[in-house]
Amino acid sequence: MKATLMELIKDRLTIEEACEMAGIQLGKGRGNTRTARCPLHDDASPSFIIYLDSNRWRCFSGCGHGDAIDLLSRVYDIPISQTLHRIANDLGITTSEQQESDRQKQRIEKQRQERQKAQADKEFESAVTKAVHFLKSLSDELDKPIRACTTPWQVEKYADYIHLTAKIERILDDLVSGERQIRENGLLAARRVLFIVKEARGKQRDIDKTKTA
Ligand SMILES: [Zn+2]
C-alpha cells in the first residue's frame, strides 16, 4: 500500500518548517516549545505555542490547536486537500510515490475496464450466435410452405412470410457484417422478430386450444 500525500507530508513536515512557511516569527521558547504571535488572530502578546516533539501548535487565546497541516490550511485559508498540494510544491516533495500510487490506481482501473469490455464482448458474441441460429431456423420454417406451393396464387397467401424472410436476410447480413454498431442494431432487430414470433405462436396456441376444446 502506497503512502498518501497526507502521510508523506506528515512524515516530512515539522511544525517549525510550517511556521517558517507561514511567515511566523518564532521566539526562543523553552525546551521543546517555541512561542510566537498567533497568526490566526490579532495577537499583541505571544499566545501561540508550538511543540517540537509532537509537531503540534496551540493558541491560548481561543484559535484552537492542531498539527502543521491544519496550521497552514488555516493561515492560507484554503481546504486541507489544497494545502497538501501547496505544501508538497513548496517543500519540493517530488510526490513520485504519490504519482506511482496514482499510476497504479489507473492501471487497476484500466484492467477492470478491459475485463468488463471483454466480458461484454463475449456476451454480445454469444447473443449474436443465438440470434443467428434462431433467425436461420425461423427462415427455414417460413420457407417450407412457400416451397411446397405449386401455383403463384398459393404463394400469394404467404406474402407476409416472404416479407419476413427478406427482413430476416437483412438482419442476418447486419449481424455478420462486422461493424459493431450495425451488428448491435441487427441484434435489436432480431430481438424484435423473436418477440413478434413468440406473440404469434402464443396466439396460435390459444386458437389451437379453442379448437380442441
Ligand atoms: Zn490565536
pLDDT in tens, 192-204: 999 988 888 888 8
Q: What are phi and psi of 74, to 5 degrees?
A: -75, -40
- Ligand 1 centroid, distance to 156 Cα (angstroms): 96
Number of H helices, E strands in the chain: 8, 4
**Confidence (pLDDT) at 15:** 96
Cell of 71: 496550521
- Ligand 1 centroid, distance to 7 Cα (angstroms): 26
Contacts of 90 (CB under 8 A, 6+ apart): 21
Place of cell 390459444: 206
**Confidence (pLDDT) at 208:** 83
Strands 56-59 and 48-51: antiparallel
- Ligand 1 centroid, distance to 8 Cα (angstroms): 27
Other Cβ atoms less than 10 A from the Cβ of 2: the count is 14
- Ligand 1 centroid, distance to 64 Cα (angstroms): 7
Per-residue pLDDT of the chain (213 residues; tens, 9 = 90+): 456 788 889 888 999 999 999 999 998 878 999 999 999 999 988 999 999 999 999 999 999 999 999 999 999 999 999 999 999 888 877 666 667 777 888 899 999 999 999 999 999 999 999 999 999 999 999 889 888 888 888 888 888 888 889 999 999 999 998 789 999 999 999 999 999 888 888 888 888 887 776
- Ligand 1 centroid, distance to 65 Cα (angstroms): 9
**Confidence (pLDDT) at 95:** 61
- Ligand 1 centroid, distance to 66 Cα (angstroms): 12
Q: Please name which of 164, 162, 184, 165 lies closest in space to residue 175, comparing C-alpha atoms.
A: 184
Cell of 213: 376444446
Rg of the chain, C-alpha, whole Å: 38
**Confidence (pLDDT) at 54:** 95
